[in-house]
């Protein structure tokens, strides 16, 4: 998991220690067990634990690899609370999404918040944040907006009317016109709708070396960590990649396909146009997905699938032939 | 039905009375019955009748609630002509779309017309029409274009490279990057193709309070009235909402879905990604539509549907299992 | 086939004669037969042969209509090499895509290349290339980017935040907001991924008279010749048209549909929303495609099709009814 400096993108709003955190969510706390007082600097996922952070979790996962005491777990599950009670500072709440929303909004500014602040110069026809870092050997077209914290490494070409924010663009990446990278992940609680209730998306997008991204695409930033596009991947036009998605190296994704949130994909993916992937599924290496497929579940490496729900392409073809026969 | 001032968006081209209207379409008139002469200020739908307006209708609908005589009906159906003959001024034509096109183009300027005129200032990196109204507490990013008549209420966040025109944005609305709101509805007569033959779209888009709209979406303005997105609705990236669509409160629409023209939807809709809705259908409250569905007909409240054509999700799942069995 | 001047869009990089061409690809040459030395000015397809050009071909097609000797064929097929050996200068290579990439990159600059150069003025809020030609009676909105070589004829309306490059826009064309025309075709060799390995796309887009193109669409430029949209065609929002596609007159394509590379379509096409077409297929005249269809093979004129894979709509409806019966 690539680690980035969150405050490069999301400026710190408040300095909070664990007791101030507690006070922020006091009315939704059910139980609490604090081991010691410490400063809360960040929010972590279980995949990448940062020191002095809050971790929101609803399941008991091994944290054996993490032995420091300066993390605070927050859960709404009593068994999780009991399990970790001895080892970490932990808070049991009755609404984990509300806790996440309050705490992350109090820690960081982000661009779904009226008070988020950035500062731009117009350089050769595009607005470039004073807080971005762009290598010398980079081409940027006209009418682009490049926000706070964005890094673009050498050899990359950003065409026209592109919006880049909350992202790191590696070497030799091409991003075509009217594409948006680093926009808000579509994460919220269905029981709590409305623009104010979007769960703060304080992760980023990481585009690795030699990736080509077509025109009018959207790649949303992760909630906490990164949305990742692996090296040498080729993405066509009007493709949507949701928050927290991980795509390995050498992916080829044809136009108008979409990958839902938190899906993780191995290397050498090939996807035909207008295909969709459900969220939170795992796709192995060397998977081929025919056009217009809907992938609804985990897929083993070296599979070729088609249809909706997507199945082995040979089965899919047999079904079509059988249906045709039945029709006569 | 929300009423707006059309001329805020679409400047008046000509002052026309009912006799001038008649002269404009003289070569397609079949019969005519004028009760009195009056000025024609506007065009109305049957849903929202404005004084001194022309109404185009092909069906006999109750206008009992409207008792004034300063409206003029236009129809190409003889029975409609006969039915209303006694009560209203009415014109029978042989091409109602042509009549609509000629009359609306003579009444109003709109942006599919070379002569449409707007006037902008560049304010902090975005072009803002001198004829728009933007509340103080609104955030607007870079490279946006905000056209004539647009109103944005307090607390709203317009990100970067967004195009807003012919729309009213209420309080606390978030609109993400590269989205287009208020573009031309896709309305025309198949027998009369070409850019000049788009039926003038002189309605607007109304986005109600606390709506979140993702990146690279398109929401087309209505033909005459409004395309409406209800309060607290959440719309993901690359979603298309066509002209005259009405979506109630608390809708959640996942990425790459599309809703065709004039479809009306109740409250609490949930739609999975890459779904589509046919035009001119009615969807009740609390409807859930699985991803990749194609909704082709009216759907009752409290339904959960899937597939294409979309059916009850339990039936859809049974079909899939049966197909699988047949394959072995 | 419409002929355009390639160097208007893609400036010449090097002056090369046939021997310099040979030297550029020396390490992949298997056999060679040169009839004479001449300058190489361009690259041709078999459909439109230009004097002093290189032609890449893997099949034996009649070139009888072309009798000059100043063309050079390149192939990786031995039978093609043998067949043309007597008549033309020809090179047998072991990797035709690599040969194409090297030669076209050495002949022309294009915008997937860091060294591509253009020069803009901001005119009324849009960046317009000094090397473009825009007729007087054209409306251009704000935040547009109009690149090198682009021609826009009279009566056309380019709305806001539109990117036009590598394209010719004829008379009375409307192009709506946030649309991208002339972006890079998605062409590359699956065994050779990465942004540097996109096959140079040195063709253009040609939009013929009276076409309406919606918002947030993408139309990719051709690899060598033109992507063509015929007169009076109406294209809705979020539509994707891939490289080398040819669409005849009077097409009507509803939102979120996509047409894959090199597919050729006759006149009077009607396509419902969210439909897709495979690449390299032929579609006749007067074809109607229902919404959400996936067209996978050639379609005869006067067909009405639906489903995926798309079949005659009557068959498709029968299948749905039969499936429904089986379910009970």
- Could you read off the pLDDT of A74-100 as tens digits, one per residue? 999 999 999 988 888 999 999 999 999
> What would the two tokens of residue C165 be?
């490059």
**Cis, peptide link before residue A309, omega less than 30° from 0:** yes
* Dist CA B23 CA B29 (whole Å): 9
Chain mean position to CA B208: 15
* Residues from chain C contacting residue B195 (CB–CB below 8 Å): 157, 172-174, 210-212, 232, 234
With CA atoms as reference, report the closest residue to A45 among A86, A107, A100, A106.
Answer: A100
A250-259 LR contacts (CB < 8 Å, sep 24+): A250/C193, A252/C190, A252/C193, A254/A291, A254/C186, A254/C260, A255/A214, A255/C186, A255/C218, A255/C240, A255/C242, A255/C258, A255/C260, A256/B256, A256/C240, A256/C256, A256/C258, A256/C276, A258/B238, A258/B255, A258/B256, A258/B273, A258/B274
> What would the two tokens of residue C300 be?
């005869």
User: Would you call B216 and C178 a contact, using CB atoms and an 8 Å cutoff?
Assistant: yes
Residue in C with minimal Cα distance to B178 = C178
Beta-carbon pairs below 8 A across chains B and C: 150
* Dist CA B84 CA B91 (whole Å): 10
Asked if pLDDT for residue C328 goes beyond 70, the answer is no
Residue A309's φ and ψ, nearest 5 degrees, are -65, 140
The HSE-up count of residue A223 (CA atoms within 13 Å, CB side) is 20
User: ∠ CA(C77), CA(C78), CA(C83), 5° rounding?
Assistant: 105
- The alpha-carbon gap from A209 to the nearest alpha carbon of chain B, in Å, equals 24
* Residues from chain B contacting residue C159 (CB–CB below 8 Å): 111, 163, 183
Of C65, C212, C240, C243, which residue is the catalytic one? C243
* Dist CA B177 CA B154 (whole Å): 19
Query: According to the model, what pLDDT value does residue C60 have?
Result: 85
H or E element: which one contains C98?
A: helix C96-107
Closest by Cβ to B161, choosing from A145, A190, A278: A145
Strand B139-140's sheet: what is its strand order? B139-140, B157-158, B174-175, B212-213, B234-235, B252-253, B270-271, B288-289, B304-306, B311-312
Residue in A with minimal Cα distance to B180 = A178
Query: According to the model, what pLDDT value does residue C147 have?
Result: 98
The CA dihedral of B278, B281, B284, B286, to the nearest 10 degrees, is: 10
Percent of chain B with pLDDT over 90: 88
**B278-287 b/e (C-beta count within 10 Å ≥ 16 → b):** bbebebbbbb
Question: Measured between alpha carbons, how far is residue B246 from residues B242, B285, C236 in Å?
Answer: 10, 12, 19
* Residues from chain C contacting residue A212 (CB–CB below 8 Å): 112, 184, 188, 194-195, 198
User: Would you call C141 and B145 a contact, using CB atoms and an 8 Å cutoff?
Assistant: yes
Structural domains in chain A, CATH included, are: 6-107 (3.40.1390.10), 120-318 (2.160.10.10)
Asked if pLDDT for residue B316 goes beyond 80, the answer is yes
Query: According to the model, what pLDDT value does residue A60 have?
Result: 85
| Residues β-bridged to residue B235 | B213, B253
Of B65, B212, B243, B328, which residue is the catalytic one? B243
Closest by Cβ to C180, choosing from A174, A177, A212: A177
Residue in A with minimal Cα distance to C322 = A327
> Which position has the token pair 């008046």?
B12
Contact assessment for residue B254 and residue B235, using Cβ atoms and an 8 Å cutoff: no
* Dist CA C214 CA C211 (whole Å): 10
Tell me the longest C-alpha to C-alpha distance in chain B: 75
Beta-carbon pairs below 8 A across chains A and C: 149
User: Would you call C176 and B184 a contact, using CB atoms and an 8 Å cutoff?
Assistant: yes
Asked if pLDDT for residue B79 goes beyond 80, the answer is yes
* Dist CA C136 CA A9 (whole Å): 45
Residues of C at the B interface, defined by Cβ within 8 angstroms: 125, 137, 139, 141-143, 155, 157, 159-161, 172-174, 176-178, 209-212, 214-216, 231-234, 236-238, 250, 252, 254-256, 270, 273-274, 291-292, 320, 323, 326-327
For the segment C158-170, the average pLDDT, to the nearest whole number, is 98
Chain mean position to CA C118: 22
Chain mean position to CA C66: 23
* Dist CA B154 CA B139 (whole Å): 9
At B65, the pLDDT band (50, 70, 90 cuts) reads low
**A207-234 b/e (C-beta count within 10 Å ≥ 16 → b):** bbbbbbbbbbbbbbbbbbbbbbbbbbbb
Query: According to the model, what pLDDT value does residue A308 have?
Result: 96
B328 is catalytic: no
Q: Is C300 helix (H, G, I), strand (E, B) or coil?
A: coil
Question: Measured between alpha carbons, how far is residue B260 from residues B189, B241, B263, B265, B296 in Å?
Answer: 16, 7, 6, 11, 10
Query: According to the model, what pLDDT value does residue B62 have?
Result: 64
Q: Cβ of C165: how many Cβ atoms within 10 Å?
A: 28
* Residues from chain C contacting residue A238 (CB–CB below 8 Å): 216, 218, 238, 240, 258
* Dist CA A92 CA A94 (whole Å): 7
User: Would you call A127 and B143 a contact, using CB atoms and an 8 Å cutoff?
Assistant: yes
Residue in C with minimal Cα distance to A290 = C278
Q: Is A22 helix (H, G, I), strand (E, B) or coil?
A: helix
Residue in A with minimal Cα distance to C293 = A292
| Chain B interface test: which of A118, A193, A262, A281 (most B C-beta within 10 Å) | A193
Closest by Cβ to C180, choosing from A211, A216, A274: A216
User: ∠ CA(A15), CA(A18), CA(A21), 5° rounding?
Assistant: 75
| Chain C interface test: which of B166, B182, B195, B244 (most C C-beta within 10 Å) | B195
Q: Cβ of C125: how many Cβ atoms within 10 Å?
A: 16
Asked which of A146-160, B24-38, B251-265, C65-79 is least confident by mean pLDDT, the reply is C65-79
* Residues from chain B contacting residue A201 (CB–CB below 8 Å): none
Write the ipTM. Answer: 0.97
Q: Which chains touch B (3 or more CB pairs under 8 A)?
A: A, C
> pLDDT (tens digit, 9 = 90+) per residue, B187-201?
999 999 999 999 999
Residue-wise DSSP of B152-220:
E-TT-EE-SS-EE-SEEE-TT-EE-TT-EEEEPP----TTS-SGGGSPP---EEEE-TT-EE-TT-EEE
* Residues from chain B contacting residue A114 (CB–CB below 8 Å): 137, 139, 155, 157
Query: According to the model, what pLDDT value does residue C327 have?
Result: 65
Chain mean position to CA C239: 15
> What would the two tokens of residue B146 be?
């905000």
Asked if pLDDT for residue B66 goes beyond 80, the answer is no
* Dist CA A300 CA A155 (whole Å): 35
For the segment B290-312, the average pLDDT, to the nearest whole number, is 98
User: ∠ CA(A167), CA(A173), CA(A177), 5° rounding?
Assistant: 80
Residue A60's φ and ψ, nearest 5 degrees, are -85, 105
Which of the two residues, C171 and B68, has the higher pLDDT score? C171
Query: According to the model, what pLDDT value does residue B211 have?
Result: 98
For the segment B36-53, the average pLDDT, to the nearest whole number, is 92
| Residues β-bridged to residue B294 | B276
Closest by Cβ to A163, choosing from B178, B209, B236: B178
| Residues β-bridged to residue B289 | B271, B305
* Residues from chain B contacting residue A260 (CB–CB below 8 Å): 254-255, 273, 291
Spans of chain A, pLDDT less than 70: 62-67, 327-328
- The alpha-carbon gap from A93 to the nearest alpha carbon of chain C, in Å, equals 43
DSSP state, residue C184: P
Closest by Cβ to B255, choosing from A186, A216, A315: A186
Contact assessment for residue C119 and residue C130, using Cβ atoms and an 8 Å cutoff: yes
The residues, any chain, with a CB within 8 Å of residue A263's CB and separated by 6 or more, are: A242, A245, A246, A277, A278, A279, A280, A281, A282, A283
Contact assessment for residue B304 and residue B295, using Cβ atoms and an 8 Å cutoff: no
Contact assessment for residue C128 and residue C110, using Cβ atoms and an 8 Å cutoff: no
The HSE-up count of residue A263 (CA atoms within 13 Å, CB side) is 23
User: ∠ CA(C3), CA(C7), CA(C9), 5° rounding?
Assistant: 85
Chain mean position to CA B124: 31
Closest by Cβ to B214, choosing from A144, A186, A308: A186
> What's the mean pLDDT when you consider all of chain B?
95
With CA atoms as reference, report the closest residue to C138 among C146, C248, C130, B206.
Answer: C146
* Dist CA A97 CA C35 (whole Å): 74
Closest by Cβ to A160, choosing from C145, C309, C318: C145
> pLDDT (tens digit, 9 = 90+) per residue, B227-269?
999 999 999 999 999 999 999 999 999 999 999 999 999 999 9
* Dist CA C180 CA C176 (whole Å): 10
Q: Which chains touch C (3 or more CB pairs under 8 A)?
A: A, B
| Residue B59 exposed, middle or buried by CB count within 10 Å (0-12, 13-18, 19+) | exposed
For the segment B165-193, the average pLDDT, to the nearest whole number, is 97
| Residues β-bridged to residue A289 | A271, A305
The CA dihedral of A277, B250, B243, C154, to the nearest 10 degrees, is: -70
* Dist CA B141 CA B144 (whole Å): 7
pTM for the structure as a whole:
0.97
């Amino acid at each position: 998991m690539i680690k980035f400096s969150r405050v490069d993108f999301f400026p710190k709003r408040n300095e909070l220690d664990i007791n101030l955190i507690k006070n922020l969510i006091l009315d939704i706390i059910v139980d609490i067990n604090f081991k010691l007082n410490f400063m809360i600097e960040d929010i972590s996922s279980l995949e990448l634990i940062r020191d002095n952070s809050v971790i929101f979790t609803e399941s008991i996962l091994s944290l054996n690899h993490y032995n420091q005491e300066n993390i605070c777990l927050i859960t709404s599950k009593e068994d999780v609370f009991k399990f970790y009670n001895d080892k970490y500072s932990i808070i049991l709440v009755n609404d984990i999404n509300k806790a996440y929303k309050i705490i992350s909004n109090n820690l960081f500014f982000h661009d779904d918040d009226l008070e988020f602040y950035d500062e731009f110069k117009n350089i050769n026809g595009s607005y470039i944040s004073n807080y971005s870092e762009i290598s010398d050997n980079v081409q940027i077209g006209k009418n682009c907006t490049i926000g706070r914290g964005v890094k673009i490494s050498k050899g990359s070409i950003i065409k026209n009317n592109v919006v880049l924010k909350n992202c790191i663009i590696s070497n030799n990446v091409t991003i075509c016109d009217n594409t948006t990278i680093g926009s808000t992940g579509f994460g919220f609680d269905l029981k709590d709708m409305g623009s104010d209730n979007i769960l703060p998306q304080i992760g980023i997008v990481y585009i690795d070396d030699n990736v080509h991204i077509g025109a009018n695409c959207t790649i949303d930033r992760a909630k906490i960590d990164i949305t990742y596009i692996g090296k040498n991947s080729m993405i066509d036009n009007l493709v949507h990649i949701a928050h927290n998605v991980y795509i390995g190296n050498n992916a080829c994704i044809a136009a108008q396909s979409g990958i839902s949130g938190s899906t993780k994909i191995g290397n050498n993916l090939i996807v035909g146009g207008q295909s969709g992937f459900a969220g939170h599924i795992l796709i192995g290496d060397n998977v081929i997905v025919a056009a217009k497929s809907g992938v609804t579940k985990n897929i083993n490496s070296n599979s070729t699938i088609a249809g909706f729900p997507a199945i082995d392409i040979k089965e899919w073809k047999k079904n079509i032939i059988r249906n045709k026969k039945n029709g006569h």
